[in-house]
Structure formats: C-alpha cells, structure tokens
Structure 1
C-alpha cells in the first residue's frame, strides 16, 4: 500500500489500528482475527493482509502509533507536584473501565506475542523518557542532586501502582499515588538514584545515603 500522509492510506491505517484496539479489548488476543479487524474498520481483509501480514504486526503497529502520540509532561512548579501528577494520571486511567480496557488488553497480548511485548517495551520507554523531563527540570532547579537518573525516578514513581493494578489487584487511589511519588522522591533526594557525582560514575548508593532513609 502506498503511503500518502493525509490521504486514503493514512485514513485506512487509522481505521484499522482503531479497530485493532477495539477488537483486542472486546475479544482479547486469542480471539483477535484479521477478518474481524477488517470488518470493523470497513475495509477488505486483503487490504489488511497486504500491510500487516499477521495479528502480531497489527498489534505492534497499533502500539507504535500510540507511542508517537504527544504526551505533555506536567509542570506544577515543583518536582513533587509533577511526580504526584504523573502517578495520579495512572490512577485516573485505571479508575475508568473504558480507559483501562486498552492497557489491560495490551499487557495480556504481550504475554502471548513477542512483537507485542517489544512494542509495549518501546511504548513505555518513550513515555518514561517524556515524563523524565520533569526530573531533568528539577535537577536544573536544584531540587534534586546532579546525576539523578531521571528515567529511573519515573519508574520508581509508577512501579508500585502497576504492581497493585496488574499483580495483586489491589485498589489504587490518590493517596496511593501520592505515597508512591513521595517515596520515590525521597530516594532521589537522598542520592540513591545518582548515576554520577563530582568524582565520577556512582556504582552503588553510599551507606550515608541509605541511612538517611531510615
């Protein structure tokens, strides 16, 4: 299929990828078929097969298209406020059954498909890098030590929430989000997330830094 930005090819791709998400949510990975995706998108199945030879390629492209969507990092005026806002957004998404259906379906698909797994990894790597802007900004404002690993701080902020959502099934709320963000921030302020300092690379947290958290 010839790609013409803004033309029929772009419209067909958007319709097919939207249909892929809808089918994934409705039927799950094991029930996903090219025929059903094509029918929902309003195109012939040969159109889908021509560009996406397999279901895995469809899912991967759908995730890739989501990764390319702009996501504005919060700017509340403080790194604490920014991290809480990021954590709160996760809570907001998963509190809404309609919005949580897509990420839950994608996680399930990644358990069965290597391509979906890699696409999911790439998606979150891109999102973490976008969110890390709030940490880099905080370092420039002297809110955090120089050398703080920006992406790792984002991971630490989000990880307890995803653990509750996907592993234990425990509920999450604003208090959970706030606690997660503040715990991650405390580790960063103590220097536990520094990758380098004035003497060079940091291989492991100092005992003094660890003691500050006790």
Structure 2
C-alpha cells in the first residue's frame, strides 16, 4: 500500500474547491459545512480555517476560481449571433460551477445578498445583462430589431429563462437549449 502524499498549494486548493461544489450538489448551501468540505477534500479543517474565515469566503473563492472572466461584446453584426454568444457565457458558467452559483443565490439568505451574490453579480449577471442590452441597442440602430425592443427589461429575459430552467431542473443545459431560448423567446420579442 502506497502512503498518501501530502497535497499543497494549487493541488490542495483544487481539491478543496472541487469538494465545495460536490458538497453544494449533495447537501446544498445551507447544510454545507467547513467540516464537510474538509472531509470531502480529504484534508483537515485547520487547512480551511487558515485561509477562509467562513463558508461564504470559501464558496466565494471557489466560484472566482471557476467562473470565467466577464464576457466581452461579440459584435458579430447580427443580433441573434450576439445573443447566442452572450448567453453561451451563462451556460458555460453554470456548467463550470455545476450550477452552484445560482442555487446558492436562491438559498443564500432572506434578502438574497451576500458575498456569493456579489461574486456572481460582478462576474456574470451584470456583465451579461449589460452586453445583451448593448447588443439590442446596436441592433436597433442597424434596423434589425424594433427600436422599442432595445430595453434592459428585454435584455434580462434570456438570462432569466436559462437560470429559471436550471433552478427547476428543466433538463440538460445544452447549446441547443440556449439556441431555443434565443430563437423561440428572444427573437419573437424583438423582431420588427
């Protein structure tokens, strides 16, 4: 039997972050504990408490580790393609963090605010909504959509549909699903 090797640095951090998402999937945000994460990562609680004061700090860092950088404007010249690219970022993020980001937001607190909320808002929610709004404004200027459809309210629809579908367990989050949101929900709303 080979003795266990002690993990340090990046290897230990990766195991801890993976354990965070495994625990979130298994027990949810409210029942996640530092002890459960330590056990899942096969490390001691002390290793966690040396770096993170609370589970929120730990979850926040785990999300920062897996969340992609905020998306940039695709500017393809076609509103449908822009929306597909931007909403693809939402899909990639849900897949990268195993959907934990939005599940946590649902459970995090009565007001839905906290460290995790701030991380998700700054890295994903706000940039996606802003880019979608910008894409709609540019499409309206090109005459591709109705000018009155270039609103923040309509920009919120795509991400809301995707997140809602994820939260209610509406099936796999495939590229085809994102395409259906664009083609069956957003395009009919904005077309002239």
Name the TM tier (shorter chain).
0.5 to 0.7
> Under a length normalisation based on structure 2, what TM-score does the superposition of the two structures give?
0.62
Aligned to 2:50, the other structure's residue is in SS state helix
The 5 Å alignment of 1:172-211 reads 173=177, 174-183=179-188, 185-186=190-191
How far apart are residue 104 of structure 1 and its match?
4.8
Instruction: Render the CA deviation track for 1:78-127: whole Å, top value 9, x for unaligned.
Output: 22133145557767998x9x986534533334346622222222232465
Q: How many residue pairs are counted as aligned between the two chains?
A: 176
Which structure has more RCO (C-alpha within 8 Å, separation ≥ 6)? Answer: 2
The CA distance in 2 between the partners of 1:93 and 1:117, in whole Å, is 14
Going from structure 1 to structure 2, the CA distance change for 1:118 and 1:43 (only over 3 Å counts) comes to same
State the TM-score, normalized to the length of structure 1.
Answer: 0.57
Alignment root-mean-square deviation, CA: 4.4
Give the aligned partner of residue 64 of structure 1: 64
Matched, 1:27 2:32: no
Partner of 1:105: 103
User: Is the alpha carbon distance of 1:152 and 1:23 closer, same or farther for their aligned partners in structure 2, counting shifts above 3 Å?
Assistant: same
Specify the SS of the correspondent of 2:128.
Answer: helix
Give the match's secondary structure for 2:43: coil
Determine which structure has more spread, i.e. the larger CA radius of gyration: 1
Q: Distance in 1 between matches of 2:130 and 2:12?
A: 28
Provide the residue aligned with 2:15 in structure 1.
15
Deviations 1:122-164 (A, max 9, x none): 232465179559829956x946699x97977643332344345
| Structural mapping, 1:125-136, within 5 Å | 125=125, 127-128=127-128, 132=132, 135=135
For residues 20-62 of structure 1, give each alpha carbon's deviation from its aligned partner in whole angstroms, at most 9, with x where no partner exists.
1111111111221111211222322111001111111111222
Q: Distance in 1 between matches of 2:153 and 2:28?
A: 31
Which consecutive unaligned segments of at least 5 residues does structure 1 have? 1-6, 187-212
> Once structures 1 and 2 are overlaid, which stretch shifts more, 65-74 or 28-37?
65-74
Quote the Cα distance in structure 1 between the aligned partners of 2:133 and 2:10: 31
Name the CA distance, whole Å, in 2 between partners of 1:11 and 1:137. Answer: 45
Residue in structure 1 matched with residue 163 of structure 2 by the alignment: 162
Query: Partners in 1 of 2:151 and 2:104 — Cα distance?
Result: 26
Give the superposition deviation at 1:68.
4.5
The SS at the match of 2:53 is coil
